[in-house]
A = this chain, B = another copy of it.
Amino acid sequence: MSNTPPADIKFRTQSQLGEVFAALDSGTGREVRRMLSTLSPQSIAQLLESSPPRIRQVLWKLIDKEVEGEVLQELTDDVQSQILATMDTEEMVAVMEGLDADDVADILQQLPDRVMAEVLSAMSETDRQRVESVLAYDEETAGGLMDTDTISVRPNLTLDVVLRYLRRHEQLPESTDSLFVVNRKGQYIGLLPLSKLLTTDPSVTVREVVNTDVEPIPADMSDTEVARLFEKYDWITAPVVDSNNRLLGRITIDDVVDVIREGADHSLMSLAGLDEEEDTFAPVRRTARRRALWLGINLLTALLASWVISLFQDTLDKVVALAILMPIVASMGGVAGSQTLTVVIRGMALGQIGRSNLNWLLSRELGSAVLNALLWSLVMGLIAGLWFGDQRIALIIVAAMVINLVTAALAGAILPVALRAMRIDPALAGGVALTTVTDVVGFMSFLGLATWYFG
């Protein structure tokens, strides 16, 4: 059911959303139901994702029963679990009928263990077995991504036999671009691309044309590693095997695209202390609760910076210009550091940065920091000198900015690598750690130099 008719290809969520909201407002559920029935499951899912919680619940009730499962599997984890929370076991089993095993497994993992067990035991024997074979693997591995719906052939058959075998199928599994060649024990030998099948003399055997170059993916490979391989080699499907090289299933590009999207979103969202699966339209209380911890952590680091300032309160009392200028030193350090941090975090996510090139990167960042520190500290020194008519303040801010911008570059490059070595997510912790460093060093260097200078 992929390649679903996008009768609504030029459809824009936003205008559609406006119409649906208007129809809901005027209270005509029937009209909304009609509008929804003209949309593909993917468009309905996008509509749900773009709706505030109450409207989302109303819309869900107006969807055709037959497409509910397909809509559900398109939703992000957070929204899925909100909708599942309103269903009983029977409804869940009905909704998941006809979905691929990997999609059912994804959905089930949003449920509490007890409910998951209930749903599984209410499924048909074959369905349960297929889903359980996927559930046996961690969600974030190749096994958790794979679908068990494959077509495999033996190497001794002629292509003619394969062609006749295929013709007995009503249709092939979604996104099938290759058949899998396996031996008698079900062990993976290689691929037989459909395009090869169509362009080769039917009298030759599978063995003569099998493509053995593509190594299969072990079921325990991490999903980000899988995504990197797909991205690198432009795969559409790839075989997944167990530790005995037995074919377990296949991974298709549509599931990998989700992994790529989530991985890229992860860096962005984590830098603000957010989760990439977060529902854009989560209700007030959930939103407030999820963000509270992050704000609390940042309050602690801000208090640390304030404590550093308090060490120099006698100097601040004497020269009020210092209080006026000190945020500039801290802020410029923060901005410079976050540029380095972002480049390094992205480079690490792309697998580019490691021991062999870290030193080069560090010295490049240092070099770049020195050049920009000299440029902008001199500009700032000139401004400060003119503003307060005091050369000493100008000299102090120049020195403090150079110190803080160079520290910022070092911290921005070293922190993510060090955090990763400590198995802490650099995207999540890097930003806070960096700001702490640039604030503390910024205030310390500026006020410290001033205390020493002004006595």
A88 within 8 A of B: no
Task: Please report the C-alpha to C-alpha distance between residue A257 and residue B269 in the assembled complex, in whole angstroms.
Answer: 20
Q: Which of B171, B199, B236, B364 contacts A236 (CB under 8 A)? A: B236
Is A177 an interface position by the 8 A CB rule?
yes
Q: Quick check: A292 and B372 within 8 Å, CB to CB?
A: yes
Task: With both chains docked as a complex, state the minimum distance between the C-beta of A79 and any C-beta of chain B, in angstroms.
Answer: 11
Whether B325 pairs with A306 at a CB distance below 8 angstroms is yes
B343 touches A3 (CB 8 A): no
Contact of A172 among B10, B199, B435 (CB under 8 A): B199
Binds B, one of A28-36, A127-135, A329-337: A329-337
A186 contacts the other chain (Cβ, under 8 Å)?
no
Contact A368 B298 (CB under 8 A): no
Check B302 against A332 for contact (C-beta < 8 Å): yes
Nearest B residue to A253 by beta-carbon distance? B253
Q: A13 contacts B352, CB within 8 Å?
A: yes
**CB contact under 8 A between A17 and B357, given known A198-B163, A215-B9:** yes
Mark each residue of chain A from 194 to 217: 1 if its CB lies under 8 Å from any CB of chain B, else 0. 111111110000000001011101
B6 close to A215 (CB less than 8 A): yes
Which residues of the other chain, B, contact A299 by a CB distance below 8 angstroms?
Answer: 328, 332, 376, 379-380
Q: How far is the CB of A189 from chain B (nearest CB, A)?
A: 15
Q: How far is the CB of A20 from chain B (nearest CB, A)?
A: 8
Residues of B within 8 A of A272 (CB): 338-339, 341-343
User: Quick one: given A171-B199, A198-B163, A268-B267, are A351 and B14 in contact (CB under 8 Å)?
Assistant: yes
Task: Look across to chain B and name the residue whose beta carbon is closest to the beta carbon of A1.
Answer: B234
Q: In the complex, are the beta carbons of B309 and A364 less than 8 A apart?
A: no
Q: Inside 8 A of A4's CB, which chain B residues have their CB? A: 213, 233
Q: How far is the CA of A291 from the CA of B231 in the complex (A)?
A: 29
- B233, A199: Cβ atoms under 8 Å? no
Q: Which residues of B contact A383 (CB under 8 A)?
A: 303
Within 8 A of B (CB), among A288-341: 288, 291-292, 294-296, 298-299, 302-303, 305-306, 309-310, 313, 316-317, 320-321, 323-328, 330-332, 335-336, 338-339, 341
Q: If the complex has contacts A236-B175, A364-B284, are A328 and B346 also in contact, measured as CB distance less than 8 A?
A: no
CB of A156 closer than 8 Å to a CB of B: no
Q: Are A335 and B295 in contact (CB under 8 A)?
A: yes
Residues of chain B lying within 8 A (CB to CB) of residue A120: none
Stretch at the interface among A61-69, A109-117, A258-266, A418-426: A258-266
Interface 1/0 per residue, A18-39 and B, CB below 8 Å: 1001000000000000000000
Alpha-carbon distance between A43 and B351 when the two chains are bound, in angstroms? 12
Binding site for B on A (CB under 8 A): 2-7, 9-10, 12-14, 17-18, 21, 40, 42-43, 46, 49-52, 163, 166-167, 169-172, 174-177, 191, 193-201, 211, 213-215, 217, 229-236, 253-254, 257, 260-261, 264-265, 267-269, 271-274, 278, 280-285, 287-288, 291-292, 294-296, 298-299, 302-303, 305-306, 309-310, 313, 316-317, 320-321, 323-328, 330-332, 335-336, 338-339, 341-343, 345-347, 350-357, 360-361, 364-365, 367-368, 371-372, 375-376, 379-380, 383, 435, 439, 443
19 contacts between A and B (CB under 8 A): A3-B211, A7-B215, A14-B355, A42-B233, A46-B351, A50-B352, A175-B236, A198-B198, A234-B253, A234-B254, A274-B342, A274-B343, A298-B331, A303-B383, A313-B323, A313-B324, A317-B320, A323-B323, A331-B435
